[in-house]
């Protein structure tokens, strides 16, 4: 008798959520059962191929939802059809997380999945051209340095984790190498926090977490072009999960859609007040009075400092005498707050503010600059 199982897991599902097995009674009847191996409801779809002298008691393909923790759920029974002695079949199965009857709570309010009072750039939003298509359309990618703390965007139950990978790269070939945390919500939806660093999971399966709790650390594993956090909420469909849009609590109130290319502050309930500063809002006059003493180094140098994607450029005169400097910048995807070239008189042994450089398109090409300058008495 032939018995074969083909498992097609859904994204970020590391193992079978249901064990499908058979029990043969008196050599003539075959019962097909399922045991839950997961903390969540799991769908299973069964189909038979190459059937010989057997008949199913239920129409095929068969679709069933196996409750979490259930055992020996009868899926179907195969009986000898009476047309021959030899009986054989191939049983093909597919599995998927969740119950498609679940209805998302449209009033649920999420917080951004990093520490209260900190900000991150949304580098890919809903419908992002790099990878947010199809079932992942309503996903969000936040640029976070490796090791940044990740926080639960909504309360729920941790149902799956992976943290053993140290591999990543910019192609779908790396999909299976992503470390992740999956949290089930009360309404049957699931949040995925992906691309975590190796060993970057702070929680365990079966653990309940509150909104805002720290759960892991960001990384660069799996299908990834650079360190970031991939966050999505999905609802179960029939044999396929679909990401859904959700609302976030932000400084601006309840936001339906975060804008790609912007920096966003996390605002968690009960967190202390903080001062929000966005680089895009900085003005040259904010720094006009900047001056600080530096050590002698007998050269003029530039010191860039970033706030979000805005570059605050300072110039340092390390000579013991005042100097005049003339500077010309070559800019790529950047605009300057001061026309070129810049001619400035620099006090001795001092750092002074020079100009601001801001991205022309914060969602597009990378920003870079180079400078040529001459120094005179």
The answer to whether position 123 is within a domain reads: yes
The answer to whether position 9 is within a domain reads: no
Kindly state the tokens that stand for 162: 């992976």
Whether residues 230 and 339 fall in one domain: no
Question: What CA–CA distance (Å, rounded) separates 209 from 168?
Answer: 28
Question: What CA–CA distance (Å, rounded) separates 126 from 136?
Answer: 9
Q: Which of 76, 97, 118 is the last residue of a domain?
A: 97
Question: What CA–CA distance (Å, rounded) separates 210 from 110?
Answer: 11
User: Which CATH number covers residue 271?
Assistant: 2.70.70.10
Whether residues 118 and 261 fall in one domain: yes
Kindly state the tokens that stand for 204: 């365990």
Q: Which of 72, 97, 122 is the last residue of a domain?
A: 97
Neighbours of 50 (CB within 10 A): 10
Whether residues 265 and 299 fall in one domain: no
- pLDDT tens across the length of the chain (377 residues): 333 322 223 344 435 789 999 988 777 789 999 999 899 999 999 999 988 888 899 999 999 999 999 999 999 999 888 766 788 888 899 999 999 999 999 999 999 999 999 999 999 888 776 777 788 889 999 999 999 999 999 999 999 999 999 999 988 899 899 999 999 999 999 999 999 999 999 999 999 999 999 999 999 999 888 899 999 999 999 998 999 999 999 998 999 999 998 999 999 999 999 999 999 999 999 998 899 999 999 999 999 999 999 999 999 999 999 999 999 999 999 999 999 999 999 999 999 999 999 999 887 678 999 999 899 98
Neighbours of 159 (CB within 10 A): 20
State how many domains the chain has.
Answer: 3
Whether residues 46 and 85 fall in one domain: yes
3-state SS, residue 347:
coil
Whether residues 173 and 261 fall in one domain: yes
Question: What CA–CA distance (Å, rounded) separates 284 from 329?
Answer: 17
**Left (φ > 0), alpha (ψ -120 to 50) or beta: where does 157 sit?**
beta
Q: Which of 257, 276, 295 is the last residue of a domain?
A: 276
Cα torsion through 150, 154, 156, 160, rounded to 10: -40
User: Which CATH number covers residue 344?
Assistant: 2.60.40
Whether residues 302 and 333 fall in one domain: yes
Whether residues 322 and 223 fall in one domain: no
The answer to whether position 239 is within a domain reads: yes
Whether residues 357 and 244 fall in one domain: no
Whether residues 293 and 182 fall in one domain: no
Domain that holds residue 244: 109-276
Look at residues 254, 277, 286 and name the one whose alpha carbon lies nearest to residue 267. 254
Whether residues 290 and 237 fall in one domain: no
Whether residues 115 and 218 fall in one domain: yes
**Looking at residue 15, what is its pLDDT?**
57
The answer to whether position 103 is within a domain reads: no
Whether residues 263 and 286 fall in one domain: no
Q: 273: which DSSP letter?
A: P
The answer to whether position 12 is within a domain reads: no
Please, is 154 exposed, middle or buried when counting C-beta atoms within 10 Å of its C-beta (0-12, 13-18, 19+)? buried
Question: What CA–CA distance (Å, rounded) separates 66 from 100?
Answer: 12
């Amino acid at each position: 008798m032939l018995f074969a199982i083909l498992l097609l897991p859904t994204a970020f599902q590391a193992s079978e959520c249901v064990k499908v097995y058979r029990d043969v009674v008196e050599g003539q009847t075959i019962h097909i059962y399922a045991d839950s191996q997961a903390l969540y409801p799991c769908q299973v779809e069964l189909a038979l191929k190459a059937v010989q002298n057997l008949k199913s008691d239920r129409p095929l393909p068969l679709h069933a939802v196996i409750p979490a923790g259930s055992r020996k759920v009868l899926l179907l029974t195969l009986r000898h059809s009476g047309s021959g002695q030899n009986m054989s079949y191939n049983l093909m199965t597919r599995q998927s997380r969740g119950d498609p009857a679940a209805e998302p709570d449209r009033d649920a309010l999420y917080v951004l999945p990093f520490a209260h009072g900190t900000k991150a750039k949304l580098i890919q939003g809903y419908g992002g051209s790099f990878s947010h298509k199809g079932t992942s359309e309503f996903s969000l990618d936040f640029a976070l340095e490796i090791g940044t703390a990740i926080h639960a965007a909504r309360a729920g139950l941790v149902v799956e984790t992976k943290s053993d990978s140290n591999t990543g790269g910019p192609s779908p070939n790396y999909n299976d190498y992503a470390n992740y945390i999956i949290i089930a919500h009360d309404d049957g939806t699931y949040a995925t926090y992906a691309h975590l660093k190796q060993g970057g999971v702070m929680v365990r399966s079966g653990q309940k977490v509150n909104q805002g709790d720290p759960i892991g650390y960001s990384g660069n594993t799996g299908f990834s072009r650079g360190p970031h956090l991939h966050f999505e909420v999905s609802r179960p469909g029939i044999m396929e999960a679909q990401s859904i849009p959700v609302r976030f609590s932000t400084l601006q109130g309840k936001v339906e859609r975060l804008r790609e290319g912007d920096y966003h502050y996390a605002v968690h309930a009960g967190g202390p007040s903080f001062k929000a500063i966005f680089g895009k809002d900085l003005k040259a006059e904010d720094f006009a009075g900047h001056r600080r003493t530096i050590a002698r180094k007998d050269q003029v140098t530039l010191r860039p400092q970033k706030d979000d994607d805005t570059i605050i450029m300072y110039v340092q005169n390390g000579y013991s005498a005042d100097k005049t400097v003339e500077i010309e910048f070559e800019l790529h995807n950047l605009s300057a707050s001061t026309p070129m070239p810049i001619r400035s008189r620099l006090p001795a042994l001092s750092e002074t503010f020079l100009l601001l450089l801001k991205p022309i398109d914060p969602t597009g090409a990378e920003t870079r600059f180079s400078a040529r300058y001459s120094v005179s008495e």
